[in-house]
Amino acid sequence: MQARDPVFDDAETEEDESLTQAMGRGGLEISIDVDGEEVSLLNAHFKSKLISYARRRPDVPGSRFQPRDEDERYRYAAYALYLRTGEALTIRNRLNALLSGGSSAPNPRQGLGCEKAVIFCGDLNDEPQAATTQIIQGPSGSEIGTAGFRSVDLGDGYRLWNLAPLLNRDGDGLPPLEAPYTRRFKGRGELIDHIFASHRLVNPANLPLARTVLATAELPSVGDTPAERNQDPASDHAAVVATFTL
């Protein structure tokens, strides 16, 4: 993946920040055998929304979390957004390959999501309606809870279903009183950790169980200064856990 944008064609911008050649953190892909059926799992951690600014002095390691000026702030905010988008494209490209059945180009009529068990999960640092999350999801219109979910269409072969609408439902399948979230930023709950699965694992006749799990009684609220949590014993994110039936 390689992209250059005029917003970074500035002599003051570090070269390694202006040219995106790879995901910020590499993704992980594994394949497991469950009673003779292959399940493909991908995991990734997309670029944080917490903006870090490179130091220009080579003898000073690490990053800064405060911009020098407004020009640097907006350029690096764009960089973080572009990188998350590029990471979403990279993962979606791999998902298409897994669901294409080896065909040369993804064709909705040839997608194998109804037969192949594929799961993608991770900290995407974006909420369900963000453009990056929608790129992972694939064709819209059949999300859980919509009328389209109850009908089969051509997009199901490549579509992945975000389990967000299923999180923390009670024994009767009713949604929780409080909207699920996996991080609290400046006091506001954000759902930025996600699990997606193919039609083989998510369909009207086979809904997985999904929930959030906290390491402590309550998630701490985080801000723009990560050093404030250096001594905290647990993660500032809730885990997202799902149980699938093959």
Rounded Cα distance between 184 and 204, Å, is 32
> What pLDDT, on a 0 to 100 scale, did the predictor assign at position 238?
92
> What pLDDT, on a 0 to 100 scale, did the predictor assign at position 133?
96
Question: CB-based burial of residue 41 (10 Å sphere; 0-12 exposed, 13-18 middle, 19+ buried)?
Answer: middle
Rounded Cα distance between 80 and 73, Å, is 11
> What pLDDT, on a 0 to 100 scale, did the predictor assign at position 181?
92
> What pLDDT, on a 0 to 100 scale, did the predictor assign at position 73?
81
> Do the beta carbons of residue 49 and residue 125 sit within 8 Å?
yes
Tell me the whole-structure pTM to 2 decimals.
0.84
> Do the beta carbons of residue 241 and residue 213 sit within 8 Å?
yes
> What pLDDT, on a 0 to 100 scale, did the predictor assign at position 236?
83
> What pLDDT, on a 0 to 100 scale, did the predictor assign at position 62?
56
Burial 206-229 (b: 16+ CB within 10 A, else e): ebbebbbeeeeeebeebeeeeeee
Residue numbers in the chain where pLDDT is lower than 70: 1-21, 54-63, 102-109, 226-227, 229-231, 233
Tell me the per-residue pLDDT of 93-115, one tens digit each, with 9 for 90 and over. 999 999 987 656 666 567 899 99
Number of other CB atoms surrounding residue 7 within 10 Å: 15
Cα separation of the two ends of the chain? 34
